[in-house]
Amino acid sequence: MTNDRSIFKNKRMWYGFCIGAGITLLNGLHVLFPVVPGIKNIYNISDMFTSKPWDSLQPMVIAFYPCAIGLAYFMPLDLAFSTWFFFFFWKAQLVSGSILGLHNLPDFPYAKWQQTGAYLAVGVLALWLSRRYIVYVTKTALRGMSNTDDEPMSYRLALLGAISGFGLLILFGFEMGISIWVGIIFFGIYFILSISLTRMRAELGPLVHELYYSNSDQIITAVLGTRRISPGSLTSISLFWWLMRSQNSHVMPHQLEGFKLSERTGIDTRRLWIVMLISAVMGTFFCSWQFWIMAIVMEATLDSHLNLMDGFNCG
């Protein structure tokens, strides 16, 4: 779509677009106005599995999403295969666990830890496969040599930003009460997960990249336990729950897509990262300002309700 504008003159493309968008639009109107008929595209077939050991398959839902079908068309075959294979592999674990009596174990078959290990493995594997390039970039940056390829910024500036940014995060956490070694592991896991999500977003193209119950604090406490970590560190890392709860706030996947689109459309990427940086600073400022305004409004509303209740009690 960015290279060949003739796709907008393709009738088959518009037929497919109208079918997919029409189903979504119709179902959206059906939710807002029930009098409008909708097209059922989600079927819950859990009632078909009620006897042992098949009841462990619940919930079992079959869904039809035109947008997901369109994305799956462009997926590499090995990735498309893994998306459905491991779903049924997980269901097979549930059935076999019910047969063997393992379903009584807490959290069996430990799905959240399996997914956590898989995501960490993808991130570590990506770094390992890129080790030669990372070493090359580091040497080029330390020697002060210019880039030989078209990158958004110089290697020296990128390395300086990575080291200083990570160091500031560790310092920020230390001032909050997080031990330095805990901070390094905590934020290190976060960035490994970010690399994993970015790689999957680039190769798989998922609509969302939510990853619940695979947070840095949960991984640390599960592996190390809570006794090896100071109370100050445990308290402080819990304050990052808003950031790491579902792992859907990573900016790296969106930045990579922005650089790729700019490359395809001929936009100067050496200026794009500056725009991204300014946007991040402005977004942080306006988001904080909005929360400050909301806090003032909520406080005023609470005070008015308390005053009203006091008036009724006096009466």
- pLDDT value for 149: 63
- The DSSP result for 6-58, as a single string, is GGGG-HHHHHHHHHHHHHHHHHHHHHH-TTS-----EEE-GGG--STTGGGG-
Amino acid at position 27, single letter: N
What angle separates helix 252-265 from helix 180-204, to the nearest 10 degrees?
40
Please classify residue 76 by burial: count the beta carbons closer than 10 Å to its beta carbon, then call 0-12 exposed, 13-18 middle and 19+ buried: exposed
Mapped onto helix, strand or coil, the DSSP state of residue 144 is: coil
Name the residue with tokens 């090896």. Answer: 228
pLDDT of 30 reads: 92
- The pair phi, psi for residue 250, each rounded to 5°, is -70, 135
State pTM to two decimals: 0.77
Alpha-carbon dihedral angle through residues 261, 267, 269, 272, given to the nearest 10 degrees: -90
pLDDT tens across the length of the chain (315 residues):
767 778 888 888 899 889 888 988 999 999 999 898 888 888 888 888 888 888 888 888 888 888 888 878 888 888 888 888 988 898 899 899 888 888 788 888 888 888 888 889 988 998 999 899 889 888 888 887 766 566 778 888 888 989 999 999 999 999 989 999 999 999 999 999 889 888 888 877 766 677 777 788 888 888 888 888 999 999 999 888 888 888 777 888 888 888 888 877 777 777 888 888 888 889 888 888 888 888 888 887 877 766 666 555 555
Quick one: pLDDT at residue 182?
Answer: 92
| CA proximity to 210, closest of 220, 200, 219 | 200
Euclidean distance between CA atoms 141 and 281, whole angstroms: 26
| Cα distance between the two ends of the chain | 69
Q: 3-state DSSP call for residue 127?
A: helix
